[in-house]
Chain A
Amino acid sequence: MSIKKHPKKVIIFGSGGLRIGQAGEFDYSGSQAIKALKEEGIYTVLINPNIATVQTDDDMADRVYFQPLNVPTVTKILERERPDAVMLSFGGQTALNLGLELYDLGVFKRLAIDVLGTPVPVIKITEDRDLFKKALAEIGTKTARGAVAYDLNEALAAADTIGYPVMLRSGFSLGGLGSGRIDNEAELRQRVGEVMKAVPQVLIEEYLAGWKEVEYEIVRDEGGNTIAVCNMENFDPMGIHTGESIVVAPSQTLTNEKYHHLRQVAITTINHLGIVGECNIQYALNPADGDYRVIEVNARLSRSSALASKATGYPLAFVASKLMLGKRLHELKNSVTGTTSAFYEPALDYIAVKMPRWDLAKLKASDHRIGSEMKSVGEVMAIGRSFPEALQKAVRMLNIGAQGLSIHPYEFADPLDEISRATDRRLFAIYEALKLGKTVVDIHELSQIDTWFLHHIAAIHVMEGRLGSEPLRAGLLRLAKQQGFSDKTIGQIKGSSETQIRKNRLKLGVLPVIKQIDTLAGEFDAETNYLYTTYHGETYDVKPLGKKAVTILGSGPYCIGSSVEFDWCAVNTAKTLAKRGHKTVIINSNPETVSTDFDRSDRLYFEELTLERVQDIADFEQGMGIVVSVGGQIANNLALPLARAKYPILGTPARQIDNAEDRQKFSSMLNRLGVDQPEWQEVTDLKAAKQFARKVGYPLLIRPSYVLSGGAMNVVRTEEELKRYLLEATRLSPDHPVVISRFILNAKELEIDGVAQNGKLLIYAIAEHIENAGVHSGDATVVYPAQRLYLETVRRAKFIARQVVENLNITGPFNIQFIAKDNELKVIECNVRASRSFPFVSKVSGHNFISIATDAMLGIKNDTVYQTLELDHVAVKSPQFSYNRLKGADPVAGVEMASTGEVACFGANLEEAFYTSWLATEQQVVGKNVFISLPDEQKHKFIEEVGLLQADGWKIYTTEGTHDYFERHGVASIKLHKVRDQKEPSVSEAIKDRVFGLMINVPSLAEGNDDAYTIRRLAIDNHVPLLTNAETGRLLLRCLSNPELKHMKPKYWSEYVRGVVVN
C-alpha cells in the first residue's frame, strides 16, 4: 500500500439544503466518501445541516454536525475537533467555496489541517477563469476565445473585441449562475452589474452556437495514473447548461478518433493541473470540423459525476475518496465485479439517457426559456438498449403526465419557436413539429440538435403512425415496445385500455427481459445486482428472488415537494428489511439518490415507477409484497392500481389509502367522527364555486385532488380571481374535480407524523409551523417538539390522530396536518404515507420512524412506549429556496410550495435552533442595517422587536407607511422612497448599493402590490437576505437582538440526541 497520509480524523463538508444546481447527488457522493474512509478505520466527522440525507444517519459518520456551512461556524467546529484533514470535494460548490475561504483565511494552516485530494492552489486554478485559461494554454489545450473581466468596463471592452453575441460566465459559482448569451451592450451592462454582486469576476467569451457539448469524467491518483470513466454527449448543443440538457452516455455521434482525442486532451490537462481524485471536464466540439474548446474543469464530485457513476456502475465517489488518501488506482478493486481492477474504463452495453425535471409551472412568473443557467430541480436517468427505448422511458419517469413523446399534457401555439429558443418542453415541441410535417433537417436547422437524435425521434413518430394503421400483431407490438411505447400509449392509440394491451401482450409473449449493468459489457462474470429492463433481448441475466423479496418503490425525480427525504425513507426501509432477513428490491429512476447505489439493496432496478413497469418487475420477482408508502406521492399513487391488479401491498390497505386521498371520502369520515375541517366543496363548474364563495366568504383556497405540494393550488381573494383561476386549474387536471375551501387567516398550523399498526398508534411526533396557516407545509419553518401549543391542543390533536388511524386501519407511516385557531382544531389533510418530515422527526426524537413503520408493515409486534413530546432540545427545519435562479419569480411563500430543499438545526431553545437553522439556508446578515416594510395588519406586531433592535444599535430603514406607524409608536427609522415614486433616496438604489444586511418585506394579503414585488425581486437579484413572512421575520429580529446567540458553540448531534436512531 502506498498510503502516504494516515489521517486519523477527517472532516467532510456536506452541501447543505437542496437547491437548483446542487441537489441530492451530494448525498450520494458524501455517503460513499464516509463509507470509504470508515473502511480505512478513519474517524469521520460530517458537517451538513441537511437532516433528510442518508449521509447524516447515525450509522454513517462518527460525528455529525447539523450546522451552517459558513466560515464562523465551521471555524469553531474545526477548532473544537482538530481533525488531521478535511475533504472539500463531496459537498458541491458550497463545500468547495467554503474550503477556499477557510484556506485563504489561514484557518487550515493555523490548525495544521491537511486538505485531502486536489491541492487548494489547483482548485483555485480551476475556479478562477483567468488562471485556468493560462494554465491550459501552457500545454496547448484550447479554451474559448475571450477575456476575464473584473469590472464592467473590462467586460465591455472584451465584448467589443470578440463581437456580440458573447457568452457571459461567472467564476466561483454553481449551476451556471448568472451566465448566458448576451446580445448587446445594454444587456451586458445589466447582467454584469447583477452577477458581480455575487462573484468577483466574469468571463466574456466567444459564443459557440451550435457546437456539441461533450464531457468526460476523469479519475486520477497521486501517482499520475489517470482514467476516463465515462464520457457523455448532450442532446442539446452549446448554450443550454448541461444540467438543463438531455444527456446520453456514452457519446453517440463521436468517432473513435474524436472520442479518444478528447479523452487524451482530458488526461493531459488533468495531469498538467495535478488533480487528485475525481473531476469532470467539459468540451464544446464543432461538428463541422472537429475543433474543440475546453469549457471548464470541476475539481470535485458533481452532478455529472453522480450521473456517470449511475450510468456506468463505477463508484466514482468511493474510488475518489480512496485516491485522496493516497491510494493508487491499481491497488483498488472494481467493487461491481469484485475480482477485476478499479483501474479500468467501463464498457457499456446499453445507453443511458438523462433528462432534467423542471417545475417552472409551480414557480409562477418565471420564464420558461432554458439556457446557460440551471432552472431544473431534478433529473431522471433511463437505461435501454436503443435510444428511443431509453428516451421514452425517461419521459415517463419525469412524472409530468407524459406517457412518452406522443402523449403529453402540452399545447403548443408555436412549436418551432420553442425549438429554436429552447423551453423546458422542447423535446415535445420537436415531436409536434414532426407531426406538423417538419423534417429532421428543418428541426436540426432550428436547434442544431444532431440529426442522429432527431432521426430516432422521427422513427418514434413513424411507429405511432404504424400503430394507428396496422393490426397489433406480435411483431409490431415488439417493435413498438423496443421503441419505448408504453401499454397505456398503445392502448390510447388503439382505442383500448392499458390493462387490455397488457393482457394481449403477455398472451403474445412480448415481455421485457432483465439485464445487468456489470461495467464490463459482459466480458467478466459479475455478481452485480444493478438491473434494467429492455425489449431488445431474449434472455434474463438474473433469476427471480421469490417470496423473501420485498419491493420498495423509490421517489422518482426530485421536484418541488418530493426530494431527498423520500430517498432517506426508501434507504432506511431497505436497511430495516435487510435486518429482518428479507431480500430487498428497490425501483427508482433518479440518479441523484443513495437508494440507487448498488449496495443499498439486494436488487436495484433503475426503472420507471409506472404501473406497467412495477408489474413487470413484480411478475418476474414473485416477491412477498410492495412497499408504496415511503417513496412520496408517485409511489403512493400506484397503490390503488397495483392492488386492483392483485399485487400484494405491504402496510395500509390500498382502499384505505384512497379513502384518505379522496377528499370526499375522507371528509365523510371526519364528519362521521365529529372531527372539524375547514368548510369545503367539490365543484365542477363556476356557478357552484361562486355559490360556495358567497356562503363562506373570501379568501378561498382552491386545489385539485390527488396532488403533491399543492400543484395548481392557489388562494383567491375576489370573484374575478376565482373565475380566472378555476379555468386554469380545471384545465390543468380535467380528470379530477376542483376543491374549494375556506382559507382561515391568523391560525396556527401543526402536523403529526406517526406510525401505526392495524389501526393502533405506535409512535407520533407533533410539530408546529412558525408561520401562520397559509404557507405550504413544505415551505414552512417547522419546530419540533412544538413549543407554543396549548396542552389542550396537543391532547386534542393526538385524540384525532388516534381516531383517523383507527378508522383508516393504518399500518405504516402517516402524516396529518391541522389548523388551530382559538383552541379549535381542524384537520386539513391526511397522507397515509411517509411525509417530508420523517427524517426530521426521526433524527430529532431519536426514534427512526421509518424503521418502526417497516416493522409495522412486516407485522412485527411492537409494545414500546416512545417519549416524543418532551425533549431536552428544540430543532427547527427551515426551507431552502432557489429564487436567485428563477428570474422573475416572486419570492413569497404561499399555499403553492416553492422551496427546493430544507435544512434543520438543533438548539437549547427555539431562538437558538431557529437562528442556526436560518443561517444554514445560506444566509448571513452583514452589518446592522435592516429594511422593514409591512402591511397595515402586521405593523403593530413588530414594535417590540424593532425597539429591541434599535437598542442594540441597528439602523432601521422603512418606506412611508411603516415609517409613520413606527414613528407614532416611538421607533425612529430612515424613510426611503418607494420604487414607483422615482425619487431618491429610494429603496431600489439602497438595495443595489447593498446598504441592507437584511430585508423584511411582508406582502399584504388584501391586494397584490407591484412595488413590493419589485423590492423583493431586487433583494433576490442583489443577494440581500429577505424574509417575507411576519412570524419568521419577527423571530429573526428577536434573534438578531439576542446577545447570547452571537456566542453559540456548535454542538454535534449526539450531544442533543443520545438514543440510537436505527434499531
Chain B
Amino acid sequence: MIFNGVVPAGQAGVHTGEVVFNTGMTGYVESLTDPSYAGQILMFTYPLIGNYGVGTQWAESDKIQVSGVIVSEAASRWSHSVADRSLLEWLRSQNIPILMGVDTRALTKHLRVKGTMAGSIGINAIRPKGVLAEQKRVFIESPVLYNEQFSKKVVLVDCGSKKNILRSLLELPVQVKRVPCDYDYTNEAYDGVLLSNGPGDPTDYPATIDNARKALKLGKPTFGICLGSQIMGLAAGAKTYKLKYGHRGHNQPCLETDTTRGFITSQNHGYAIDEASLPKGWFVSFRNLNDQSVEGIAHRTKPFFSVQFHPEACPGPTDTEWLFERFYTSL
C-alpha cells in the first residue's frame, strides 16, 4: 500500500521502520522521545500535530527516538509561551523524517486490519525489505546513582526508561541506582527493583529476564512497567505474544480486578502477557476493558506487581501515579 503525502524540502533518502499509530491528542514531544518507540515510524491519528511547538523540557529522553513521523498536518505556526521551536525544525535538527498530508485515518484502518507492519518514508515509494525486527537498544552504558542521601535503595533497570519514571522515583525518599538492562544487580544490596519500559520484543532481553528471575527468587519488592511488566511475566514463567496492532494512546481503560476501580491509562506497547500461561501464585491485577487483555500481573503472596500501562504518564493521564507510592510502601 502507498499512502501519499508530502515531505519537507531537503529531506532525502528512504527511511524505514515498523509503522505504529498513537491515538493521543496531545504529547507529541513526549511520545517522539519515548525510548519505547525507538526504531519505529510513529503516526499520530490526531490530525493537527505541533500546535504548541516544542519545548525540550517535555522530552522523555535526550533525543527523538522514532525513526520517522507520519501526520495529517504539522503546524508551521505554533503558539506557546515556553516552547522555542516548531515541530518541523526540531525534527530537522535531528534528521528525523516526516511525511505530512497523509490520510492518517485510512492508514490507521489499514494497520488495524493488517496489523503493525514495516514501512518506509521516501520521495520514491520503496517496499521495505522483509519484516523489520524491533531491536533492543542500550540506553545507558554504566550504572548511575541518584539521591544517595537516602538509605532505601531501588534498582531501576533501564531498558529504555522514560525520564518521568526516574522523576517519579526521585520524588520518593529513596536512593536510585539506574543500571543498563543487562546489568546483574542481584548480588548487590537493594530494597526493590523497578523494571522499566523499553522498545521491542521482551524475549530479546534474555539477560534482563535472567536477572529478573533471580531477583524474584530473592523476594524483594519488584515493580514492572510496560516492557518491564512483560519481562517480569517471562521471568515468572509466563509467555508473551505480539498484539495485532498494539495499544498506543492515552485513553485505555483498565480495571483493577480486586477493587473493580477503573482507571484511564497511557499505553504504548506491542506485546502482552498471555493470561493462560500465568504460573500458579500469580494473577491478573489489571485488565483492559476494551479487549480484556492483561494490563498488569501480581503475585498473590509476594511483593511483585507490574503494569502494562504507564503510571508515570507523560504523555497521557495521571490516574495511576499512586502506583509509585504503592511500590514505595512495599519496600
Which A residues are within 8 Å of any B CB, using their own CB?
Answer: 223-225, 227-228, 250-257, 259-260, 263-264, 267, 287-290, 328-330, 339-341, 343-351, 385-387, 450-452, 455-456, 513, 515, 520-525, 536-539, 541
B74 to chain A, nearest CB (A): 12
Task: List chain A residues, Cβ under 8 A from B290.
Answer: 339-341, 344, 524
A251 to chain B, nearest CB (A): 8
CA distance A991 to B106 in the complex (A): 65
Check B316 against A537 for contact (C-beta < 8 Å): no
Is B234's beta carbon under 8 Å from chain A?
no
If A343-B253, A386-B48, A452-B79 touch, whether A259 touches B72 (CB-CB below 8 Å) is: no
Partner of B52, one of A228, A253, A539: A253
A387 to chain B, nearest CB (A): 7
Task: List chain B residues, Cβ under 8 A from A348.
Answer: 25, 46
Task: List chain B residues, Cβ under 8 A from A345.
Answer: 250-251, 264, 317
A539 to chain B, nearest CB (A): 4
Selecting from B26-34, B148-156, B186-194, the interface stretch reads B26-34
Interface residue SS majority, chain A: loop
Can you give 19 A-B contacts (C-beta < 8 A)? A225-B261, A227-B264, A253-B51, A256-B26, A256-B315, A264-B318, A264-B319, A290-B81, A328-B262, A340-B289, A351-B47, A386-B72, A455-B79, A520-B23, A521-B46, A521-B105, A521-B108, A523-B21, A539-B106
Partner of B260, one of A330, A349, A456, A522: A330
If A260-B316, A523-B249, A536-B103 touch, whether A451 touches B79 (CB-CB below 8 Å) is: yes
Check A260 against B109 for contact (C-beta < 8 Å): no
Task: List chain A residues, Cβ under 8 A from B48.
Answer: 252, 351, 386-387
CA distance A339 to B253 in the complex (A): 13
Partner of A347, one of B25, B78, B315: B25
Check A255 against B80 for contact (C-beta < 8 Å): yes
CA distance A267 to B101 in the complex (A): 36
A550 to chain B, nearest CB (A): 28
CA distance A279 to B253 in the complex (A): 20
CA distance A287 to B82 in the complex (A): 10
Check B58 against A255 for contact (C-beta < 8 Å): yes
If A223-B261, A522-B108 touch, whether A538 touches B24 (CB-CB below 8 Å) is: no
CB-CB nearest in chain B for A259 = B26
CA distance A346 to B21 in the complex (A): 16
Check B105 against A537 for contact (C-beta < 8 Å): yes
Check A523 against B80 for contact (C-beta < 8 Å): no
B295 to chain A, nearest CB (A): 13
CA distance A387 to B47 in the complex (A): 10
Task: List chain A residues, Cβ under 8 A from B250.
Answer: 345, 347
Check B289 against A343 for contact (C-beta < 8 Å): yes
Task: List chain B residues, Cβ under 8 A from A451.
Answer: 77, 79
CA distance A344 to B254 in the complex (A): 9
Which chain B residues (242-261) contact chain A, with CB distance < 8 Å? 249-253, 255, 260-261
Interface residue SS majority, chain B: loop
CA distance A252 to B72 in the complex (A): 15
Q: How many residues of B contact A (CB 8 A)?
A: 54
**Further 4 A-B residue pairs, CB within 8 A, beyond A340-B290, A521-B45:** A256-B27, A328-B262, A455-B79, A522-B21
Check B109 against A522 for contact (C-beta < 8 Å): yes
Which B residues are within 8 Å of any A CB, using their own CB?
Answer: 3-4, 21, 23-27, 29-30, 45-48, 51-52, 55, 58, 72-73, 75, 77-81, 101, 103-106, 108-109, 112, 249-253, 255, 260-262, 264, 289-291, 313-319
Task: List chain B residues, Cβ under 8 A from A289.
Answer: 81
Interface centre among B30, B58, B262, B316 (most CB of A within 10 A): B262
B256 to chain A, nearest CB (A): 10
Partner of A330, one of B58, B105, B249, B289: B289
Check B255 against A330 for contact (C-beta < 8 Å): yes
Check B261 against A385 for contact (C-beta < 8 Å): no
CB-CB nearest in chain A for B24 = A347
Check A252 against B51 for contact (C-beta < 8 Å): yes
CA distance A727 to B157 in the complex (A): 80
CA distance A255 to B4 in the complex (A): 29
B299 to chain A, nearest CB (A): 24
CA distance A521 to B104 in the complex (A): 10
CB-CB nearest in chain A for B246 = A523
Task: List chain A residues, Cβ under 8 A from B4.
Answer: 538
Check B25 against A522 for contact (C-beta < 8 Å): no
B88 to chain A, nearest CB (A): 14
Check A254 against B52 for contact (C-beta < 8 Å): yes
Task: List chain A residues, Cβ under 8 A from B46.
Answer: 250, 347-349, 521
A62 to chain B, nearest CB (A): 33
If A254-B52, A341-B253, A341-B290 touch, whether A263 touches B317 (CB-CB below 8 Å) is: yes
Task: List chain A residues, Cβ under 8 A from B318.
Answer: 260, 263-264
Check A349 against B104 for contact (C-beta < 8 Å): yes
Task: List chain B residues, Cβ under 8 A from A259.
Answer: 25-27
CB-CB nearest in chain B for A350 = B47
CB-CB nearest in chain B for A540 = B106
Check A536 against B251 for contact (C-beta < 8 Å): no
Check B79 against A253 for contact (C-beta < 8 Å): yes
A407 to chain B, nearest CB (A): 24
B244 to chain A, nearest CB (A): 11
CA distance A330 to B295 in the complex (A): 15
If A288-B81, A345-B250 touch, whether A225 touches B109 (CB-CB below 8 Å) is: no
A168 to chain B, nearest CB (A): 29
If A330-B260, A340-B290, A537-B106 touch, whether A386 touches B26 (CB-CB below 8 Å) is: no
B116 to chain A, nearest CB (A): 13
Task: List chain B residues, Cβ under 8 A from A267.
Answer: 319
A988 to chain B, nearest CB (A): 50
CB-CB nearest in chain A for B73 = A386
Task: List chain A residues, Cβ under 8 A from B289.
Answer: 330, 340-341, 343-344
CA distance A520 to B101 in the complex (A): 21
Partner of A255, one of B21, B52, B251, B317: B52
A593 to chain B, nearest CB (A): 26
Partner of A260, one of B75, B106, B262, B317: B317
Task: List chain B residues, Cβ under 8 A from A523.
Answer: 21, 23, 45, 108, 112, 249
Task: List chain B residues, Cβ under 8 A from A250.
Answer: 25-26, 46
CA distance A247 to B52 in the complex (A): 18
CA distance A238 to B23 in the complex (A): 30
Check B58 against A538 for contact (C-beta < 8 Å): no
A774 to chain B, nearest CB (A): 52
Task: List chain A residues, Cβ under 8 A from B313.
Answer: 260
Check B260 against A328 for contact (C-beta < 8 Å): yes
CB-CB nearest in chain A for B30 = A256
CB-CB nearest in chain B for A455 = B77
CB-CB nearest in chain B for A252 = B51
CA distance A328 to B72 in the complex (A): 37
CA distance A347 to B264 in the complex (A): 12
CA distance A989 to B138 in the complex (A): 83
Check A255 against B26 for contact (C-beta < 8 Å): yes
CA distance A344 to B46 in the complex (A): 17
Partner of A452, one of B51, B73, B105, B316: B51
CA distance A255 to B77 in the complex (A): 15
Partner of B261, one of A224, A386, A537: A224
CA distance A538 to B102 in the complex (A): 9
Check A385 against B47 for contact (C-beta < 8 Å): yes
A315 to chain B, nearest CB (A): 16
Interface centre among A227, A260, A521, A539 (most CB of B within 10 A): A521
A123 to chain B, nearest CB (A): 25
CA distance A343 to B3 in the complex (A): 33
Check A329 against B81 for contact (C-beta < 8 Å): no
Task: List chain B residues, Cβ under 8 A from A330.
Answer: 253, 255, 260, 262, 289
CB-CB nearest in chain A for B101 = A536
Task: List chain B residues, Cβ under 8 A from A329.
Answer: 262
Interface centre among A387, A452, A455 (most CB of B within 10 A): A452
CA distance A386 to B101 in the complex (A): 11
A262 to chain B, nearest CB (A): 11
CA distance A413 to B93 in the complex (A): 47
Task: List chain B residues, Cβ under 8 A from A341.
Answer: 253, 289-290
